[in-house]
Amino acid sequence: MPLGEEHQAYVVQVRSGDRVLREEIATTPEWTYSAAKRNEDGTDGRFVIEVAQLSARYGTGPFTNVKVGD
């Protein structure tokens, strides 16, 4: 559990360019972008996953990201 927070929560965004394809709240430090979700979102195999911790006191923290695909 994060220091000073009652609950763990993270904002997970999947982006393609400036467009958010999917945004979900994760309550554990794990999240899976399944083939079904990728198909539903219409990704072409290249996307960026961004994650930020949510704080009850401060709101959304800074995002970090990872690029997937070439």
Q: What is the pLDDT of residues 49-61, one digit of tens each?
A: 999 999 988 899 9
* pLDDT of 2 strictly over 70: no
Which residue's structure tokens are 């965004």? 13
Confidence of residue 6 (pLDDT cuts 50, 70, 90): confident
CA angle, residues 5, 3, 62, in degrees to nearest 5:
80
- Reported pTM: 0.87
Q: What is the pLDDT of residues 27-45, one digit of tens each?
A: 998 999 999 999 999 998 8
Q: How far apart are CA 5 and CA 27, in angstroms?
A: 12
